[in-house]
Amino acid sequence: MTTVSEPAPRTPKAEQTRRAIVDAAMRLFREGGYDRTTMRAIADEAGVSLGNAYYYFSSKEHLIQAYYGLVLEQHAAAASVVLAEETAFAARLRGVLSAWLDVAAPYQEFAGKFFKNAAEPSSPLSPFSPESAGPREESIALYRQVVEGSDLKVAKALREELPELLWLLQMGVVLFWVYDASEGQRRTRTLVDGVAPMVDRLARMTRLPVVRGVVDDLVGLLHTLRAG
């Protein structure tokens, strides 16, 4: 498995160089595809030496991790608006998912070409891989904000698990988005508009006595899967 190294120190000049390399990589990935793009081509596009490119990013996989971090940073900034204004859980969830679609829109074509790499179970580029743990945990933390600042009331055990379940929901939306050829990915936005209130209703139903047993089973299953 490819090991993703720690990033170089973040001085202002270093950060500027890192960003130039990431931007160059994203341009080339979109134009020529991930597999056909070399580190040398990325270095040339960014106007840095090959050695300098490898100093900041030990591999193309490391560049993709930087891309994940960039999108996550932009997503959190865009989502902060709705999280500051809304307390209704459905509106917060819809707003955060829609914010991701807005941020990711320029990369939709690239994502379709890249998906086969990220979908490989053993790939460090998978959002479920150990190498992606940092961005994954930060994204789950964003959905923790969605839950904690909302008017949603659910059992404590489910409330603790809900942020990760919402992140898994986002992964499903991302998969739909990757294959969405409608103009402006209109179908994915329709999906988000429809799924947010449904999740809201389902979550609120878990307080009903007839549903609590199923919720306990779900939480127990999640704990078992993590332990395995």
pLDDT tens string 181-228: 999 999 999 999 999 999 999 999 988 887 878 888 888 888 888 776
pLDDT of residue 114: 75
Domain assignment of residue 93, yes or no = yes
pLDDT in tens, 123-153: 888 888 888 888 899 999 999 999 999 999 9
pLDDT in tens, 23-81: 999 888 888 888 889 999 999 999 999 999 999 998 888 888 888 888 899 999 999 99
Taking residues 5-12, report their average pLDDT: 59
Domain assignment of residue 87, yes or no = yes
CATH code where residue 123 lies:
1.10.357.10
Is the whole-model pTM more than 0.75?
yes
Domain assignment of residue 126, yes or no = yes
Domain assignment of residue 201, yes or no = yes
Domain assignment of residue 143, yes or no = yes
Q: Are 4 and 62 spatial neighbours (Cβ–Cβ below 8 Å)?
A: yes
Domain assignment of residue 42, yes or no = no
Q: Are 66 and 57 spatial neighbours (Cβ–Cβ below 8 Å)?
A: yes
Domain assignment of residue 67, yes or no = yes
Number of domains in the chain: 1
Domain assignment of residue 41, yes or no = no
Q: Which residues are CB-contacts of 100 (< 8 A; sequence separation ≥ 6)? A: 75, 78, 79, 170, 173, 174
219: domain range?
61-227
